[in-house]
Structure 1
Amino acid sequence: MTANLTVATRAAVSINELTKVYGSGDTAVTALDRVSVDFARGHFTAIMGPSGSGKSTLMHCAAGLDTASRGSIRLGDEELTRLRDSALTRLRRDRIGFIFQAFNLLPTLTAAENIRLPMELAGRRPDPAWHDQIVGVLGLADRLAHRPAQLSGGQQQRVACARALLARPEVIFADEPTGNLDSHSSAEVLGFLRRSVRDLGQTIVMVTHDPVAASYADRVVLLSDGRLAGELTEPTTDTVLDALRRLGA
């Protein structure tokens, strides 16, 4: 582990002195305590830590899904903490992609319709060549006419990945994306996320509790009790496990 948590390359997301407090007075809980960290553009970063360490809170604040109590969050040149709700909604729609543990696919729509739905709701038309490239990389070309109930869990999550990528977001936030998948399907999805960074230039920030999942990342940021606790570069399953043991996870 190293003490330096600022990536030297261009940052897709920059967080400075981020504090998040829930409640007030005697019942106040500090979920994040003066966290400063950058997420590099074109890199795959995993966020890990013991239960209650603040990893999901960090991701939700960075993605504009939760508000900061204090501190700065920048997506490129945009300061999220200064945006009104309407501007923040547009930013999330146009510049950020999301992949969640629950696939969040509409059961009455085909895979193709689920992939296109967010862009259609925003009144935007996807780039056909980009759509075909994503579908090809994900191996979904022969599944586009299928509804979610006709797809395996891994295939459903790949549809969710395609949906997140279609708008070419500046960053994709993935919250336990393999939490509902078996080991084979998990490996498929994680392999695609890895390739999307390597081959498509995507930026991914993933919260996970799984050391195997974290080993697919370029870098692991570690949290403990709402504070930064170090990082790993070029992580392996064993180095992640060792780091988590030292944190008492």
Structure 2
Amino acid sequence: MSALVSEVGTRTAVAAANLVKVYGKGDTAVRALDGVSVAFEAGKFTAIMGPSGSGKSTMMHCLAGLDNVDGGAVQIGGTEITSLGDKDLTKLRRDRIGFVFQAFNLLPTLSAEANILLGLELAGRKPDRQWFDTIVDVLGLRDRLRHKPTELSGGQQQRVACARALVAKPDVVFADEPTGNLDSRSGAEVLDFLRMSVRKLGQTVIMVTHDPVAASYADRVVLMADGHLAGEIDNPTADSVLSALKHLGA
């Protein structure tokens, strides 16, 4: 694993080496990931795309420590997470990884502010109020902090989820279909923020999406097919992504 990191340089935020994930056994076994090696540069916005069943969501779950691997290794910020025990892995996910999912996963009884700060509170950590204020103002949530999720639009709820993901200053934010439940306008607002968090706040974002327009907000697109890497696109446009997906049979 260290060889992979030294190859791609010290600015690597997340790296995988020979990653294997198998579902099922015997004749019904499916190799969702079949020896995948890939690195994600710190301070960049990367989208992972591919046809249904290509392994893109499985790869994200393994990179984020949400799923065990059957072979290979994953490293986040210099820590090999595939060798960690459950307790250490839970702590790493809490302290060093941010998550934004298609479902907003907000607690309905808490205000927007309490939802944003919940992870820090559970970890016994005090928020950096200046950083909190920066995120809240950038996301336009200042006048929504006392509102509960049911009093917010879908786009506002996802912006609260983005703030929650960033408030702990994680090494990386994983976004799994973050615009899947949003209309096009709200989706664009969330994607604008994710891109801005990379370019102005120095965040690292890795996003799984099926949408070529969403992928066009990224600096780089990693393409997957049948559990393998199938290419990549730098400075993607919606058209270049759509063309690549057509070649993959998506």
> Shorter-normalised TM-score: what interval?
over 0.9
- Structure 2 Cα separation of the partners of residues 78 and 105 of structure 1: 29
- TM-score (structure 2 length as normaliser): 0.96
Deviation at 1:133, TM superposition (A): 0.3
Instruction: Give me the whole-angstrom Cα distance separating, in 2, the residues matched to 1:187 and 1:108.
Output: 28
> Aligned pair 1:120/2:121, yes or no?
yes
Instruction: Give the corresponding residue for 2:105.
Output: 104
Within-5 A mapping of 1:49-64: 49-64=50-65
Partner residue, 2:148: 147
CA shift for structure 1 position 127: 0.3
Aligned ranges 1:19-38 → 2 under 5 Å: 19-38=20-39
Q: How many Å apart are 1:7 and its aligned residue?
A: 5.5
Identical positions, percent: 70
1:108-160 deviation line (CA, Å, top 9, x unaligned): 11101100111101111100000000000000001101111111100000000
Counterpart residue type for residue 85 of structure 1 = D
Q: Which residue of 2 aligns with 1:208?
A: 209
Measured in 2, the distance between the counterparts of 1:233 and 1:174 equals 19
Unaligned runs of 5+ in 2: 1-6
| C-alpha distance in 2 between matches for 1:126 and 1:13 | 25
Distance across 2 between alignment mates of 1:8 and 1:235: 23
SS in 2 for 1:186: helix
Shift of 1:95: 0.5
Amino acid corresponding to residue 149 of structure 1 in structure 2: T
Give the Å deviation of 1:23.
Answer: 1.6
**Alignment map for 1:170-181 (pairs within 5 Å):** 170-181=171-182
- Structure 1 residue 54 displacement after superposition: 0.2
Q: Give 1:81 shift.
A: 1.1
Unaligned runs of 5+ in 1: 1-5
Specify the code of the residue in structure 1 equivalent to 2:240: T
1:168 alignment partner in structure 2: 169
- Alpha-carbon distance in 2 for matches of 1:222, 1:8: 22
Query: Which runs of 4 or more aligned residues in structure 1 lie more than 3 Å from their structure 2 counterparts after TM superposition?
Result: 6-9
| Deviation for aligned residue 1:9 | 6.6
Specify the SS of the correspondent of 1:200: coil
Q: Is the counterpart of residue 92 in structure 1 residue 93 in structure 2? A: yes
CA RMSD of aligned residues (A): 1.0
Partner of 1:247: 248
Letter in 2 for 1:129: Q
> Cα offset for 1:28?
1.0
Deviation per residue, 1:185-225 (Å, 9 max, x gap): 00000000000000000000000000000000000000000
